[in-house]
Structure 1
Amino acid sequence: MNHNASPSAPPRRILLLGLAILGTGSAVFVVRRPLMMSAPMCMTGRWHGCFGTFNGVVLMTLVALPLAALVVWALAHVRRAAGVPPARAWRTSLAEVGMVHGTVPLVWLTMMPGAGPGVAPRRVSLVPLRDLVTMGPLGIVGNLLVFAALGFFAPMRFAALASVPRVLALGAGCSVLVETAQYVLWLDRVSSVDDVLVNAAGAVLAASASRRWWRTAAQAASDEPRPAPAV
């Protein structure tokens, strides 16, 4: 019997949790000044400052983190009460909430209108890699993050997505929908094929980071309720 495996698991989880908290705290500290510019507008009910600006959306995403954690706990509690093993219940619940909380705010940012919505000419860029040089480091990082949470958590939740080509197709498909919506809604934004390429690459990179926790077909089959034996 191996007595060394189980005692090492809790410290590892505590270490990972501590690193996650430290990383989040460091990121908040770095961007604290621009975020605090939006806080007074949110507190006084001027919702454009909360949901109509980059700083406001980032601030509201951080403020909603405790609520997201509570939803994860509630879903995991319901699943455990239904007989799902604790590790699987927590993983599934975290994946569901993580996909939503990590993707919706970033998609919201990409759907914000430019300076002349409905007035400026619609712009489409279909030449690959032409816009990549004009994005700059910040633009590239932002596009990599748009569907990173989806790529990270979707294979953990859905066994059908547990492969790199399928995650690539998922990221590219979602990005095409966003770029098409930007064009159709006339948001004064450039619908670019480079955005699709970078968005899809971000989803694949994030999926590669979560590969050890992917939900396999065997695990999916074991989740299915088994018929009661005939009497």
Structure 2
Amino acid sequence: MLLAWRMWGHIILFSLLALPIALLTAYLIGRQRASSGMEHPFRTPLCDALSVTGTLPWLWMILTPGSAQEPARHLSLIPLKDLTTLAGGFTGTLIAQVGGNLLVFAALGALLPIRSPRLARLPRVAAVAAGSSLIVESLQYALGLHRVSSIDDILLNTTGAVLAAIMTKRWWAHPIPEGTVPQ
């Protein structure tokens, strides 16, 4: 735990400091929308602020260069191979890797369906999370960050987003009925 704090403590502190600023910004935008008579004026700015502040720290960690002792580019395309290897090692590493990967797009997965009726379906949340995760893993590989670009990370990132979406299902935006939106 101390090692994790030494490596990522500055990102955690920055994120905690950025959260009130993001929430204040969302409030001000929502207040402006409320004065113009919009329905649910705070929903979109609040979801945007929380999605960004809940996802960016994880992306910052993922895109930080790893140990130079590792190869600059390492690709793992066999599903569950890395998880199996982790399961045979130190339990703390397994928990940190699985837990961290489940949380990468959890905020995004939880809040996208609340924000947008078009994304209020689990397959769409999964597609956005998988696509975003694929981009991140591709960046890790292309930039030679001394990290493993793994299909397991994509699977865990997507799973985390979908599980988070399931947890917020009662607050999802309702689809707009056909023919009620002016063209």
TM-score of the pair, normalised by structure 2: 0.87
**C-alpha displacement at 1:90, in angstroms?**
2.0
User: Could you say what the CA RMSD is over the residues aligned between the two structures, in angstroms?
Assistant: 2.4
Cα distance, 1:197 vs structure 2: 0.2
**Residue type matched to 1:90 in 2?**
F
Is 1:123 matched with 2:74? yes
Q: How many percent identity over aligned positions?
A: 40
Q: In 1, are the aligned partners of 2:72 and 2:145 still within 8 Å (CA)?
A: no
1:89 matched to 2:89? The reply is no
Q: 2:38 aligns to what SS in structure 1?
A: coil
Secondary structure of the corresponding residue to residue 217 of structure 1: coil
Q: Which residue of 2 aligns with 1:74?
A: 28
Alignment of 1:128-207 (within 5 A): 128-133=79-84, 134=86, 136-207=94-165
Higher relative contact order (CA 8 A, sep 6+): 2
Q: Deviations over 1:198-220 (max 9, x none)?
A: 00000000111111111222279
Query: What do residues 13-46 of structure 1 show as CA deviations (whole Å, max 9, x unaligned)?
Result: xxxxxxxxxxxxxxxxxx99x86x7xxxxxxxxx
Residues 221 and 129 (structure 1), Cα distance of their counterparts in 2 relative to 1, 3 Å cut: farther
Using the alignment, how far apart are the partners of 1:152 and 1:100 within structure 2? Answer: 12
Residue of structure 2 aligned with 1:63, choices 8, 17, 38: 17
The question of whether the paired residues in 2 share the 8 Å contact of 1:159 and 1:220 is answered with no
Is the CA contact (8 Å cut-off) linking 1:158 and 1:215 kept in structure 2? yes
State which structure, 1 or 2, has the greater radius of gyration over its C-alpha atoms. Answer: 1
The answer on whether the counterparts of 2:72 and 2:147 sit within 8 Å (CA) in structure 1 is: no
The residue type paired with residue 69 of structure 1 is L
Q: Distance in 1 between matches of 2:119 and 2:49?
A: 17
Cα deviation, residue 174, structure 1: 0.4
Aligned partner of 1:209 in structure 2 is 167
Q: How many residues align?
A: 175
Distance in 2, matches of 1:78 and 1:96, equals: 16
Sort the Cα spacing of 1:208 and 1:221 in 2 relative to 1 into closer, same or farther, 3 A: farther
TM-score normalized by the length of structure 1 = 0.69
What do residues 88-144 of structure 1 show as CA deviations (whole Å, max 9, x unaligned)? 122222111111111111111100101229x83411001111111315011111000
